[in-house]
Amino acid sequence: MARRLFSRSIYVRTIAQLTLAILVVFLVLSLVYYANVSRNSMLQQANKLLNAAQVISSAIAINLNADGDIENPQVNSFVNFTARSSGAIVWIINFRGEIILQTGLPAVVRERLERSERGYFVLPDDYLPAKRSGTSGMTEGGDFSGLLADSGAYWLSAAYPVPTGNFGYRGEIQLHMQMQDGNFSAFLMTNGLIVSFLVAFAIALLINGIISRNITRPLRLLSEAAEKVTRGDLSARVALPGASPDKPRPHGLVTDDLTVLVETMNSMLDKLANQERDRKDFISSVSHDLRTPITTIRGFVEGMLDGTIPPDRAPHYLEIVKQEVLRLQTLVNTMFEGTVLESAQKVNQTVFDINQVIKEDIIGLESLLAEKRLDVQTEFMGDDNGRLLVLGDREAISRVVYNIVSNAIRYTPADGIIALTTRKSARHKEIEVVVDDSGPGIPEQEYPYIFDRFYKVDKSRTSKGSGLGLYICRTILAAHGQKIRVARSDLGGARFIFTLQSP
């Protein structure tokens, strides 16, 4: 239950995090869009006001007399029409700074301005930007240099001078537009972005759910498999949907790494299952190997103690007891050596002659070879003195050769052949040692497991070895950074090939 809740919490967290990411992205994009739209809208409004001011100034120029008054009353209608169409208030200002015509004057402006002798409101030079800008108009946003500050609103203003010819400053046209109190939420509502967001968000949630499920499904399956393993079920495997033993597991864009993790988990479980199987086989093998000599020793010792074995026959049976004890000692030493080699970190590397090592090991096994009348054939590559120098731990490599050759002797029938070859490898600064025999060989399906600890090809032949010899060979060579492999020999039996580094 805890693991199920855990896997669900991962799914929920993944959905929540991706949803939050979508919200953040949408908010950022909306803010950027809002800023761009607001800026562009402001520029368009400013150009619109400036164009309107220019049109009005052209009309005013021919109707403004030397005293700064408008002679044609029809100008009022034109100015009012322009004010309504632009949505702004219009001020017509003469050269004295008097507002001689206006379509609206906010109360905060009336309070700050003084009147001229003729009764018009007068703008100080600080509020006459066209007088300073020359013949070109100008626009600005804000409170118009503080004149409209007390209104509490944001204003967009445009000013355009009345054309003068050569008569100097004749006045200017000002348009002031109060901008709407817009905010981000109102912007979203008025521009239809809320609907767009809801549609996009619904689609994103659907995609989120699919992606999150693809991501968390392998994790859930891994959790369930791990729970089974903790209960001792080593047959548990993680099976992704759409996968089968006959075809590779699917590798999607999103779940690629998780699929690799699942495959790694399954591979690890396979190895654990194999190790458990090998452990049981080893216990069975060792139990037999230990039971037989112990039973023999016990029987002979009890026979000598209770008088069943005559005293004159005691030396003979004591010799048998000695051989059985030596057999037990060999078995224990082999197991201990496998454990020590597995934990070893360094090797004492020297340069030595591999051909000489092989010859010495053959001499050491001469009695076993003679017992089965085996023919040993050698084909050594070497220099003028017959030497082939390699780099490694001489004693450890000698153990490798000894184990492989003794293994070949064990399974090669009487009058058979064992062939040893040293040759140059296809790789630079590497040589190969090849051991062939004419025995029954090893089934090809057993090749991947032959070097595993405690592994035996023939499970019924438990009396022949502990299943550690080839494992020790692989461990020693791995410590040297070298490899060993098995193949079918031309002699009909097994072929073992291992590599060594040349100096």
Domain boundaries, the chain: 2-187, 234-343, 345-501
| Confidence at residue 5, expressed as pLDDT on a 0 to 100 scale | 47
pTM across the whole model: 0.44
Task: Let me know the angle formed at the C-alpha of 249 by 244 and 251, rounded to the nearest 5 degrees.
Answer: 155
Closest CA to 396 of 486, 500, 326: 500
Whether the predicted pLDDT of 245 surpasses 50: no
Strands 389-392 and 350-353, how do they pair?
antiparallel
CB 145 within 8 A of CB 127: yes
d(CA 290, CA 295): 8
Whether the predicted pLDDT of 252 surpasses 60: no
CB 283 within 8 A of CB 275: no
Distances (CA, A) of 401 to 104, 409, 430, 472: 110, 12, 17, 11
d(CA 218, CA 225): 10
Whether the predicted pLDDT of 218 surpasses 80: no
Structure tokens at 162: 């009345």
234-343: CATH topology is Helix Hairpins (1.10.287)
Mean pLDDT of 351-379: 91
Where is mean pLDDT largest: 5-19, 110-124, 234-248?
A: 110-124
d(CA 428, CA 450): 28
d(CA 414, CA 374): 6
Q: What percent of the chain has pLDDT over 70?
A: 81
| Confidence at residue 129, expressed as pLDDT on a 0 to 100 scale | 87
2-187: CATH topology is Beta-Lactamase (3.30.450)
Burial class (CB in 10 A: 0-12, 13-18, 19+), 287: exposed
d(CA 55, CA 49): 10
d(CA 369, CA 362): 9
CB 63 within 8 A of CB 75: yes
Q: For domain 345-501, which CATH number applies: 3.30.565.10, 1.20.1250.20, 3.40.50.1820, 3.90.550.10?
A: 3.30.565.10
Strands of the sheet containing 155-161, edge to edge, are 99-102, 89-94, 171-178, 155-161, 138-142
| Confidence at residue 342, expressed as pLDDT on a 0 to 100 scale | 56
Q: What is the mean pLDDT of the chain?
A: 80
| Confidence at residue 390, expressed as pLDDT on a 0 to 100 scale | 93
| Confidence at residue 45, expressed as pLDDT on a 0 to 100 scale | 87
Residues contacting residue 471 through CB under 8 Å, at least 6 positions apart: 338, 451, 452, 453, 454, 455
**Residue 102, H or E segment:** strand 99-102
Closest CA to 408 of 498, 497, 494: 494
- Cα-Cα-Cα-Cα torsion 24, 25, 31, 36, nearest 10 degrees, comes to 170
d(CA 213, CA 210): 5
Mean pLDDT of 318-328: 81
**Could you tell me the pLDDT band of residue 357, with boundaries at 50, 70 and 90?**
very high
Q: What distance lies between CA 7 and its chain's CA centroid? A: 20
**Could you tell me the pLDDT band of residue 375, with boundaries at 50, 70 and 90?**
very high
Query: Phi, psi (5° rounding) for residue 221?
Result: -65, -40
d(CA 71, CA 90): 18
| Confidence at residue 190, expressed as pLDDT on a 0 to 100 scale | 53
**Could you tell me the pLDDT band of residue 487, with boundaries at 50, 70 and 90?**
very high
Total residues belonging to the chain: 503
Q: What distance lies between CA 27 and its chain's CA centroid? A: 28
Distances (CA, A) of 298 to 87, 284, 318: 118, 21, 11
Which amino acid is located at 240 in the chain? Answer: L
